[in-house]
Chain A
Amino acid sequence: MEKQRKIIHIDMDAFYASVEQRDNPEYRGKPLVVGGPPQGRGGVVAAASYEARKFGIRSAMPSKKALELCPEVLFIYPRFPVYKEVSNSIREIFHRYTDLIEPLSLDEAYLDVTTDKQNIGSAIEIARQIRQAIKTELNLTASAGISINKFVAKIASDFNKPDGLTFIAPAQVEEFMEKLPVKKFHGVGKVTAEKMKGMGLHTGADLKKLTEDELVAYFGKVGHFYYNIVRGIDDRDVEPERESKSVGAEDTFAYDLTTTEEMHTELEKIAQTVSTRLQRYELKGRTVTLKVKYHDFKQITRSLSLEKPVCDTETIASTAKQLLQLAELTDKKVRLLGISLSNFHEQKIPAKKNSAQLRLFE
């Protein structure tokens, strides 16, 4: 049998609002909404503090409605770059335990801790440590849900919000799903919930009574998902972010290189280009990858991760030379060399740098 997975879903509590309350003491304990102001076309609530939620204010609600529910509510314009930065710090905490991280948004992520980097072994203990680290290092609270798959973990994280931890043991999953009201099911919106209600389907147990064919007939292809999920089956993997792009450069030579000296000279030139590109995008990479293509078009890559992210020519060149020692060079002629850096830390969007462009309106 396949090994039972351990999935954690971490959800920051009222993330944007909590960051604002953390950074601005005068906002603490007050009903606060991060989002567009209610005037004009009217923004929507991106996040509401727990004080605001007491009035019935919810995210995605029009700001006008929020103002009706609570006339004293403070509207704060979102500071996305700040949230992004905090989100990166949270992600760094996750990385201490696992690299299998699937961020859903700035404030939510799935972690697969079936095996963890520190050999803690207990998903509950990992979740506890993560929540503790978020609290002490970032002064924010998060809720965690732990179970055997993404679906149950996500629902669990919502159970003891805010600042809670919920574990649904493998043996409890089926019972848990049976008791779950249908509107909590992923993908069940108001319309489908009404439809289910009309059919006398109120909980997972009601759905479980239907055959797979019936579910598909009533709800379309999502019926397959319902059929499995009420039985506690959700095989979706935790998919780590794919944004781990790389920056690199390579050069094909007019004649094949045979001596190490020649190769070193070329690597220095390539390292210079890579460094310039990294600096243009304001990036630093931790992993250096060397690519070597031989005269017979056979190609190899060798990579090395450094202590710290780098972008300077010297380090890139010396690391590449080190990697070259790992490549087989005896009796080989080299046609192409390339260096790339990946595993970036801070990412900045280069478009914003384009300040030379003059504007008509400020």
Chain B
Amino acid sequence: MRFIVTSTALLKNLQQISGVISANTVLSVLEDFLFELRGNTLTLTATDLETMMRVQMEVNDAQGNGRICIPSKILTDYLKNLPEQPITFNINVGELSIEMSSDVGKYKIGGEKADDFPKEPAPGDTTQFTMPSIALLECINKTLFAVSADTLRPAMTGVYFELDKNSITFVSTDAHRLVQVRRTDINCPQKDGFVVPKKPLQQLRATLAADETLLQLAYNGSHLFVTSAHLSLSCRLIDARFPDYKAVIPVDNPYKLTINRGDLVSALRRVSIFANKTTNQVVLDINGNALQISAQDIDFSYEGKEMLSCQYSGEDMKIAFNAKLMVEMVGNLDGNEVQVELSTPTRAGIFRSIDKVENEDLLMLLMPLMVGV
């Protein structure tokens, strides 16, 4: 088979899917892109057995249909070093040889058999719904950072998608914090739930367009399929029950503190420099409308303290958080003002944006540190 393609266009498409590929010395075919030519349409596929991504593009002067696996690293290295120009691919599927000619030279790569490439899971028996690309992108952005890395709790190493007739909720947690974001403008066919691993979500985050294009989401007991006009992703779901997250969200945190988000993040960043590096502990001391943030590292005689003004309704209290986790949370909220809802120094604080994004309900939860002060 033979076709002509613009180097930069091919590279751009390959880079959309190349993140899926990870080094694999056992199955070398997993380090390849699968090229499939049918008419003038070239389909490119990458997989790590858990996640599979596929992108389609049009090529010129195509002759013959066929499939072959091409080693990804050498191909992308080559394309990255080539100024934009048409490249002619001459592929002999039988001999597994790939020849690329550009204005400046001729290059050859040995391929692998397309039949050795893993098959895509059959999307049989799926339930489907649609969602704007930007909505999914936003929800992934807001939840992915709080996903756990603890492989002993597999359910928490992914984001929980909780479907309902007129909403979809995304939840992530690492047992210290929890993020729940609900879109009330999405209609799902039925109440349901599944856990999507981190890696495919990272891939989606890197490739989804920030526009209103409708994505098709389809799932069954084992897989999720996300499809747009040119790009599709399928991944294996995490087969474990997500913890009963609703039970840990406090329903009544009576004390409310409202503060400028930017000021809070900057103060936390500065003060935490002086915190103990293993705990990252900062103490929030709330007295009326004054918030004092302080940290110390006794070992090195480090100390940091800042005073911020806030609006607070509640009893004065002292509560400690891990500054790193808190900065990540507050940094992922929207708008200028943030509201922190508290009850006691040993129970979770709720963080919300004051300025709501339309059709979105975002809630973040952070467990405190035991204060030894």
- Seen from chain A, the residues whose Cβ lies within 8 Å of a Cβ on chain B are 40-42, 187, 189, 191-192, 217, 220, 273, 276-277, 280, 350-351, 353-354, 356-361
Binary A-proximity of B356-373 (CB < 8 A = 1, otherwise 0):
000000000101111010
B248 partner, pick from A276, A350, A361, beta carbons under 8 A = A361
Q: Give complex CA distance A360, B346 in Å.
A: 11
A360 touches B248 (CB 8 A): yes
* B65 on the A face (CB < 8 A): no
Segment at the interface with A among B20-28, B46-54, B310-318: B20-28
- The 5 A-B pairs of least Cβ separation, nearest first, read A41-B239, A189-B26, A358-B367, A356-B369, A356-B370
Known contacts A192-B28, A276-B299, A356 near B279 by CB under 8 Å = yes
B175 partner, pick from A220, A277, A359, beta carbons under 8 A = A359
A41 touches B367 (CB 8 A): no
List, in ascending order, chain A residues with CB within 8 A of B159's CB: none
Q: Give complex CA distance A354, B372 in Å.
A: 13
* Residue in chain B with minimal CB distance to A362: B175
Q: Give complex CA distance A118, B243 in Å.
A: 56
List, in ascending order, chain B residues with CB within 8 A of A189's CB: 26-28
A358 touches B27 (CB 8 A): no
B248 touches A41 (CB 8 A): no
* B240 on the A face (CB < 8 A): yes
Known contacts A42-B239, A280-B299, A191 near B367 by CB under 8 Å = no
* Residue in chain B with minimal CB distance to A358: B367
Q: Give complex CA distance A276, B300 in Å.
A: 9
B15-70 contacts to A (CB < 8 Å): 25-29
Known contacts A276-B299, A280-B278, A354-B278, A360 near B238 by CB under 8 Å = no
A361 touches B28 (CB 8 A): no
B348 touches A360 (CB 8 A): yes
B369 partner, pick from A40, A351, A358, A361, beta carbons under 8 A = A358
Known contacts A41-B154, A220-B28, A361 near B175 by CB under 8 Å = yes
B367 touches A359 (CB 8 A): yes
- Seen from chain B, the residues whose Cβ lies within 8 Å of a Cβ on chain A are 25-29, 71, 110, 116, 154, 173, 175-178, 238-241, 243, 248, 278-279, 281, 299-300, 320, 322, 346, 348, 365, 367-370, 372
Known contacts A220-B110, A356-B372, A191 near B28 by CB under 8 Å = yes
B192 smallest CB distance to A (angstroms): 18
A357 touches B369 (CB 8 A): yes
* Residue in chain A with minimal CB distance to B153: A361
Given A350-B278, A356-B279, A360-B365, output 14 extra A-B contacts at Cβ < 8 Å.
A40-B241, A41-B154, A189-B26, A191-B27, A220-B110, A280-B299, A353-B278, A356-B281, A357-B322, A359-B175, A360-B176, A360-B248, A361-B173, A361-B243
List, in ascending order, chain B residues with CB within 8 A of A187's CB: 25-26
B239 partner, pick from A40, A192, A217, A360, beta carbons under 8 A = A40
* Residue in chain A with minimal CB distance to B345: A358
B272 smallest CB distance to A (angstroms): 15
List, in ascending order, chain B residues with CB within 8 A of A361's CB: 173, 175, 243, 248
A360 touches B370 (CB 8 A): no
A357 touches B176 (CB 8 A): yes
List, in ascending order, chain B residues with CB within 8 A of A40's CB: 239-241
Q: Give complex CA distance A271, B239 in Å.
A: 51
* Residue in chain B with minimal CB distance to A217: B110
A59 smallest CB distance to B (angstroms): 14
Known contacts A41-B239, A191-B116, A354-B278, A360 near B322 by CB under 8 Å = no
Q: Give complex CA distance A354, B321 in Å.
A: 12
Q: Give complex CA distance A94, B248 in Å.
A: 49
B246 smallest CB distance to A (angstroms): 12
Tell me which of B176, B320, B365, B372 has the highest count of chain A C-beta atoms within 10 A of its own C-beta: B176
Q: Give complex CA distance A356, B173 in Å.
A: 18
Would you give 18 A-B contacts (Cβ < 8 Å), ordered by A?
A: A40-B239, A40-B240, A40-B241, A41-B238, A42-B239, A191-B27, A191-B29, A191-B116, A220-B28, A220-B110, A273-B299, A276-B299, A356-B320, A356-B369, A359-B176, A360-B176, A360-B348, A360-B367
Known contacts A191-B116, A192-B28, A350-B278, A358 near B239 by CB under 8 Å = no
* Residue in chain B with minimal CB distance to A249: B300
B173 touches A360 (CB 8 A): yes
A354 touches B27 (CB 8 A): no
* Residue in chain A with minimal CB distance to B281: A356
List, in ascending order, chain A residues with CB within 8 A of B320's CB: 356
A81 smallest CB distance to B (angstroms): 13
A103 smallest CB distance to B (angstroms): 19
List, in ascending order, chain A residues with CB within 8 A of B173's CB: 360-361
B211 smallest CB distance to A (angstroms): 35
Q: Give complex CA distance A192, B116 in Å.
A: 10
A280 smallest CB distance to B (angstroms): 7
Q: Give complex CA distance A37, B242 in Å.
A: 18
Q: Give complex CA distance A357, B239 in Å.
A: 28
Q: Give complex CA distance A361, B173 in Å.
A: 10
A216 smallest CB distance to B (angstroms): 9
Q: Give complex CA distance A192, B25 in Å.
A: 11
Q: Give complex CA distance A359, B156 in Å.
A: 13
* Residue in chain A with minimal CB distance to B156: A361
* Residue in chain B with minimal CB distance to A272: B299
List, in ascending order, chain A residues with CB within 8 A of B116's CB: 191
